[in-house]
Amino acid sequence: MKKIISALLLASLVLALAACGTKDKDNNNASSGEESQEKTKIVVGASNTPHAVILKKAKPLLEEKGYELEIETYQDYVLPNKDLDAGDLDANYFQHIPYMEGQIADFGYDFVNAGSIHIEPIGVYSKKYKSLDELPEGATILISNSVADHGRVLAMLEEKGLITLAEGVDKVKAELSDIVDNPKNLKFDANYEPALMPQLYNNDEGDALLINSNYAIDAGLNPLEDAIALESQDSPYVNIITVNKGNENNEAIKALVEVLKSKEIQDFILEEWKGSVVPVK
């Protein structure tokens, strides 16, 4: 009888130890699973080209730093800021500083620049003429209805000698009414969505159009070959990583900016777009 009881006690002890071992193994597996899920996800809104293309190139570099990059693409300039403000994005990458500042003034966004990445020189395109000099008297110039780009466009046209702006005007905020000299009596039509400009060009609308390089590239145009004039590369219109104030010091955001400013990504930008997209230091 004692032998039977001893055997039963031994069996119970073995089962208990086995159960403990299974529990510990399960706990270890759970811990391993938790560790594997510790990788921080960064959700970034971006224009298709070149922003999303650059982010895709940066994705494996961020993986090496322990961050998972999720890219949300947009076709317009409005929703990426709305979604960032709503908390649906951790950052966006599509806009330059004057545009961000205009959005803050208009909508009260609490945004900051977390890092300057590249410049996309804006270009003048025409199917009718091969140079700015060929533009005739009274030529119609189409520009987008993005007010934040009007000063940029006018400053470029002044630099090219087509117009003169009022002395002392802030060229970032310049408007059509600030033109004081227009030797060719150019007519400006500013009633079009930025994303529609390539289609207007393909439809041969106007005598010339100004198109942002991201939309031009996305439509299959090569700014260096197809534009009849390009904005100089020392333009202040730098494309940035935008975040809600306070998040610029977030480790994930700092890692994102660090990768985008790395030599590998800068070399990729130069090789991919041959100067129509220019990285900044």
pLDDT tens digit sequence for 157-185: 999 999 999 999 999 999 999 999 999 99
Q: Band of the pLDDT at 3, cuts 50, 70, 90?
A: very low
- Tell me what pLDDT residue 38 has: 66
* Section 272-281 average pLDDT: 91
* Section 6-15 average pLDDT: 42
User: What does CATH list as the number for 123-230?
Assistant: 3.40.190.10
Per-residue pLDDT reduced to its tens digit, 76-96: 999 999 999 999 999 999 999
Dmax of the chain from CA atoms? 118
Please give the Cα distance from 119 to 235 (Å, whole number).
7
Residue 137 in tokens: 């008297």
Please give the Cα distance from 167 to 148 (Å, whole number).
20
Q: Are 80 and 214 in contact (CB under 8 A)?
A: no
Please give the Cα distance from 120 to 278 (Å, whole number).
6
- Tell me what pLDDT residue 111 has: 98
- Which residue has tokens 């610029």? 248
Q: Does the domain made of 40-120+237-279 have the CATH classification 3.40.50.300?
A: no
Q: What is the mean pLDDT of the chain?
A: 88
- Tell me what pLDDT residue 248 has: 97
- Residue 112: CA atoms inside 13 Å, Cβ hemisphere, count? 9
Q: What is the pTM of this model?
A: 0.76
- Which residue has tokens 């104030």? 245
Residue 28 pLDDT more than 90?
A: no
* Section 49-59 average pLDDT: 97
Please give the Cα distance from 114 to 77 (Å, whole number).
18
Please give the Cα distance from 186 to 163 (Å, whole number).
9
> For a pLDDT cut of 70, what percent of the chain falls above it?
86
Please give the Cα distance from 174 to 161 (Å, whole number).
16
Determine how many CB atoms are found less than 10 A away from the CB of residue 258. 15
Pick the range with the lowest mean pLDDT from 17-21, 44-48, 153-157, 199-203. 17-21
CATH 3.40.190.10 residue spans of the chain: 40-120+237-279, 123-230
* Section 274-279 average pLDDT: 91
Q: Are 62 and 256 in contact (CB under 8 A)?
A: yes
Residue 22 pLDDT more than 60?
A: no
- Tell me what pLDDT residue 33 has: 41
Higher pLDDT, 60 or 24: 60
Please give the Cα distance from 268 to 58 (Å, whole number).
10
Neighbouring-strand partners of residue 74: 47
CA angle 78, 73, 202 (to 5 degrees): 80
Cα–chain center distance at 253: 14
- Which residue has tokens 């700014």? 223
Q: Band of the pLDDT at 148, cuts 50, 70, 90?
A: confident
Residue 1 pLDDT more than 50?
A: no
Determine how many CB atoms are found less than 10 A away from the CB of residue 88. 13
Q: Band of the pLDDT at 37, cuts 50, 70, 90?
A: low
* Section 116-126 average pLDDT: 95
The answer for residues whose C-beta is within 8 angstroms of residue 173's C-beta and 6 or more apart is 151
